[in-house]
Amino acid sequence: MTKLTLEQMYTAISHDEFDDRHYGAIQIPIYQNSLFAFDTYQQFEHAFEQELGSHIYSRGNNPTVEFLEGKLALLEGADAARCFASGMAAISAAIFSSVKAGDHIVCVSNAYGPARHVMGDYLKRFGVETTFVEGSRHESVQAAVRPNTKLIYLESPSTQMFELIDLEACAKLAKGIGARTIIDNTWATPIFQNPLEFGIDLIVHSITKYISGHSDALGGVVMGSNELMKPLSRDEYMLFGGIMTAHTASLVLRGLRTLPVRMERCQASGLKVASWLEESSPFVERVNHPGLPSHPQYELGKKQLRGYSSLFSFESKQPIELLKAWASKLKLFKIAVSWGGYESLATVGRNTAVNGEVRTIVRVYIGLESPDDLIRDMQETWQEVAASASQDRV
């Protein structure tokens, strides 16, 4: 496993070795076929002897998908990668490869909702139990460990509240009890965080988000050591069939080429908007962004992260319906699930109690638009909505 610097990542993503099989094509072709033929039966049998490394059937290895997997593994510093049809397909494969009946999982409570559903509900039918803990407190993870704990599932920063987990401490804890660690690294991407260097075992990404970057492709990936990836490839990848298609892999490769550039832009824009919301916005009480010095785990973030993406949240004392009206009137933000594309998004979440106060959580994704335009849109729209609400109360 080789760790690349950011500058090395630029070259690794942009430069491909010349391959004379492809007639000098700059981009690897889309191998839009289901099967691969052989000249002799001896070649056919030899391929099956090395099935995971041979091109036999696109449910196993497709050259376009394989090329993408190689690029992703290089960026993450992993021995191997396997691409799936969606982020949830990758997450489910990684989890199923790590537990069996009678095992116990410790999972951070703010992990991605469908992933929590798999561990907290679906796996119960197979005799696997899960304990959900506050991942920002390592002692909570330690306290939840049982003699049969075989997996610690992490997401850092976490969904919605963007809390950090001490990756090195969790990896050390897991190794000490013979358990495995999995982390969802979608928020940071391989550009800004490489969890393998802290001892994490398997990494999953929703390729749908930043890696693809154009809101036009679904995908997921699992990455790790050959020791862990070979059995996952043989079983959960080959048997579940949730593969990525060659056409999708080509779309993702197109987005991957600009990933470092986009992430640097998103980092700068996200921090600018987050800082404005924290310092100047009249309707925000708190901003949850690990790149702000006010974040309670700012120092841990500097240790684990090389940079920050542009998805974060803020808390407001304003009524949830008023914030929904604000989001509905924003001109440069769309209301939609997912994130990581070129378009900015805003979604109004749940009410939560903070020190006895009811607050509304708003998740914001900053895309590639001008951050000054986005700030102006937020500010002017709030003034309009607040004025209208005041008139209604008169």
Q: Using only C-alpha atoms, what is the Rg of the chain?
A: 22
Closest among 352, 364, 359, 315 to 109, alpha carbons compared: 352
- Annotated catalytic residue 59: yes
d(CA 128, CA 309): 34
- Which residue has tokens 């099967």? 35
Q: Please pick, among 112, 153, 210, 308, the residue that the annotation labels catalytic.
A: 112
- Annotated catalytic residue 257: no
- Annotated catalytic residue 342: no
Q: Please pick, among 71, 82, 166, 184, the residue that the annotation labels catalytic.
A: 184
Q: Please pick, among 71, 82, 116, 209, the residue that the annotation labels catalytic.
A: 209
Q: Please pick, among 59, 146, 234, 254, the residue that the annotation labels catalytic.
A: 59
Burial bucket for residue 38 (CB in 10 Å: 0-12, 13-18, 19+): middle
- Annotated catalytic residue 112: yes
User: First vs last Cα of the chain: how many Å apart?
Assistant: 65
Give the residue numbers annotated as catalytic, written as ranges: 59, 112, 184, 209
